[in-house]
């Protein structure tokens, strides 16, 4: 399940550059740390999601917790914390250093690979590895992954603040209660889960089902119209051949039978 806190009003970015998304505002550590005490919640991991608007280019940055002084992430295998599993080239960034991972497709498009450098928030970062986001993990995807403290520093977020929370619930039956508890702690938060997506898809399915007969009828009429146009064109092209057959002694019935058989075939 993913938790985010949005602003009460929406707006477009006033200036280009690195920014905190309006749909994912900072959440203080004293608030989100309480989530661990909610019944049914077994894991909670906070990340920092940033957007960068630049001329003719947009990219997203995800700040993930990295172990101090080494290149191994904390063992919270939920959300972007799983990037170590997705690593296909190079190594993980080292905490506290200007290092980053790049998503495979984005890196291929802009020719970014380990050893290359890029600018994020006016600072230079070195690409240390390439990740390939696995199927089913798209909600945790970003173009670049940095140390969480580096992303906080780039936008001057306070220590411990995050703007995207990933949590795991032990029992799906407790998901609704956990969602209600979170929204009680942070009233302006949005909580999304796999069940939310399934519910949305189910609603769309029922909506399209109501119009199934109408769309089938319209499609049938269009198909019939196309068939008539096709047959008229085909018969028009065969008029000269029909005239030759009549000239050599074929009856009108024989010609019609021949053309009908060919049309049916």
Same domain assignment for residues 143 and 185: yes
Same domain assignment for residues 57 and 149: yes
Same domain assignment for residues 260 and 188: no
* pLDDT category of residue 107 using cuts at 50, 70 and 90: very high
Quick one: which of 252, 245, 179 has its CA closest to 3?
179
Same domain assignment for residues 151 and 113: yes
Residue 8 is predicted with a pLDDT of 58
Other C-beta atoms within 10 Å of 142: how many?
25
Same domain assignment for residues 180 and 239: no
Same domain assignment for residues 102 and 182: yes
Same domain assignment for residues 124 and 237: no
* Overall pTM > 0.85: no
55 versus 3: the higher-pLDDT residue is: 3
Give residue 139's domain range. Answer: 2-192
159, 192, 225 — which closes off a domain? 192
Q: What is the CA radius of gyration of the chain?
A: 30
| The CA-based dihedral angle spanning residues 124, 87, 48, 20, taken in that order and rounded to the nearest 10 degrees | 60
Same domain assignment for residues 187 and 59: yes
Same domain assignment for residues 186 and 216: no
Tally of domains within the chain: 2
Q: Buried b / exposed e across 93-110, counting CB within 10 Å, b at 16+?
A: bbbeeebbbbbeebbeee
* pLDDT category of residue 13 using cuts at 50, 70 and 90: low
What pLDDT, in 10s, does the model give residues 66-78?
A: 865 444 444 556 8
Same domain assignment for residues 216 and 101: no
Same domain assignment for residues 28 and 134: yes
Q: How many CA atoms lie within 13 A of 105 on its CB side?
A: 7
192, 220, 237 — which closes off a domain? 192
What pLDDT, in 10s, does the model give residues 228-254?
A: 887 777 677 777 777 888 888 888 888
At 264 the three-state DSSP class reads helix
CA distance 173 to 33: 22
Domain membership flag for residue 202? no
Same domain assignment for residues 186 and 219: no
């Amino acid at each position: 399940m993913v938790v985010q806190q949005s602003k009460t009003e929406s707006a477009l970015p006033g200036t280009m550059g690195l920014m905190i998304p309006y749909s994912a505002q900072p959440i203080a550590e004293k608030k989100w740390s309480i989530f661990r005490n909610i019944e049914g919640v077994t894991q909670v991991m906070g990340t920092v999601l940033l957007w960068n608007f630049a001329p003719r280019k947009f990219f997203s940055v995800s700040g993930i917790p990295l172990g101090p002084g080494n290149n191994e992430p904390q063992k919270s295998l939920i959300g972007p914390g799983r990037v170590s599993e997705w690593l296909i080239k190079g190594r993980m960034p080292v905490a506290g250093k200007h290092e980053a991972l790049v998503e495979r497709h984005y890196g291929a498009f802009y020719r970014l690979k380990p050893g290359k450098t890029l600018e994020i928030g006016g600072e230079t970062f070195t690409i240390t590895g390439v990740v390939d986001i696995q199927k089913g993990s798209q909600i945790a995807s970003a173009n670049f992954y940095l140390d969480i403290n580096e992303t906080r520093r780039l936008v001057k977020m306070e220590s411990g603040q995050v703007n995207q929370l990933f949590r795991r619930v032990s029992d799906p039956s407790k998901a609704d209660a956990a969602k209600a508890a979170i929204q009680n702690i942070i009233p302006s938060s949005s909580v999304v889960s796999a069940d939310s997506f399934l519910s949305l898809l189910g609603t769309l399915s029922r909506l399209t089902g109501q119009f199934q007969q109408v769309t089938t009828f319209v499609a049938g009429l269009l198909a019939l119209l196309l068939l008539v146009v096709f047959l008229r064109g085909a018969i028009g092209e065969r008029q000269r051949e029909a005239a030759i057959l009549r000239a050599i002694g074929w009856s009108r019935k024989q010609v019609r039978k021949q053309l009908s058989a060919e049309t049916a075939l």
